[in-house]
């Protein structure tokens, strides 16, 4: 049976490695899927037929969403990417066990990712999360209108970021997309902590002004 690495080598699953797109969480995102029935059908096709095209669609839809979900739970960027990949590998291997009568594809796949994170925490000897915490619950699939609105807003933000001086854009990216502290940015850039804080404030002010221009 062909494994996930083989599928990726055959270009059936692609990944945008651009740092900006990764940070924005919009790398390769399949926004053409907008219903539970479509997601369920794709997962059934993977389970019953090892359908690589269906899996590619699931991967492009879920991989960035799993990463965002894991980041929201406090997972660091590198681990979130790794666990999202591991979760999708598990989806490929265990898709035949999926029963749409028991749960939707989204719930089933996000549960795999959540369990992967719990396993990693247990392995690292760290406190386990409260499974009843609402933050541990996956988001429901977007409607078509929600997906269109999100894509439009993210495009505006990308365009506003491009209008910032490169140094300011890098600081915004580090602080808000890589979730680095001001002190970490200071240490990495060699700039005084106060300078980092003032430049981020200035960058945010300019970013807001740029976004306001799109609303006029």
Tens digits of per-residue pLDDT, 110-168?
A: 999 988 988 888 877 655 444 444 444 455 555 556 556 666 776 777 788 888 888 88
Looking at every residue in the chain, the average pLDDT score rounds to 75
Q: 177 and 138, same structural domain?
A: no
Q: 167 and 138, same structural domain?
A: no
In a domain, 156, yes or no: no
The set of long-range contacts for 168-175, using a CB threshold of 8 Å and a minimum separation of 24, is 168/199, 168/202, 168/203, 168/206, 169/203, 171/196, 171/199, 171/200, 171/203, 172/200, 172/203, 172/204, 172/207, 173/19, 173/20, 173/23, 175/200
CATH of the domain at 101: 1.10.1740.10
Task: State how far the Cα of 63 lies from the Cα of 41, in Å rounded to an integer.
Answer: 18
109 pLDDT tier (thresholds 50, 70, 90): very high
Q: 59 and 94, same structural domain?
A: yes
Tell me, what DSSP letter sits at residue 175? I
Examine the fold and report which residue of 114, 143, 172 is the final residue of a domain before the chain moves on.
143
Examine the fold and report which residue of 93, 115, 143 is the final residue of a domain before the chain moves on.
143
Whole-model pTM above 0.85? no
User: Which domain range does residue 196 map to?
Assistant: 163-215
In a domain, 202, yes or no: yes
């Amino acid at each position: 049976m062909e494994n996930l690495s083989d599928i990726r080598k055959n270009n059936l699953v692609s990944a945008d490695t651009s740092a900006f797109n990764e940070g924005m969480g919009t790398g390769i995102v399949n926004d053409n899927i907008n219903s539970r029935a479509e997601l369920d059908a794709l997962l059934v096709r993977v389970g019953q037929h090892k359908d690589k095209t269906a899996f590619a669609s699931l991967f492009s839809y879920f991989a960035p969403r799993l990463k965002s979900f894991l980041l929201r739970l406090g997972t660091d960027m590198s681990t979130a990417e790794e666990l999202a990949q591991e979760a999708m590998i598990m989806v490929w291997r265990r898709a035949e066990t999926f029963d749409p009568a028991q749960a939707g594809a989204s719930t089933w796949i996000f549960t795999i990712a959540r369990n992967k994170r719990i396993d990693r925490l247990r392995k690292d000897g760290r406190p386990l999360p409260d499974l009843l915490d609402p933050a541990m619950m996956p988001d429901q699939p977007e409607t078509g209108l929600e997906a269109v609105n999100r894509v439009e807003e993210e495009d505006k933000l990308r365009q506003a970021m491009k209008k910032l001086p490169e140094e300011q854009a890098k600081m915004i990216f580090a602080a808000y997309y890589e979730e680095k502290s001001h002190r970490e940015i200071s240490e990495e850039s060699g700039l005084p902590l106060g300078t980092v804080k003032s430049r981020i404030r200035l960058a945010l002010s300019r970013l807001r002004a740029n976004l306001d221009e799109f609303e006029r």
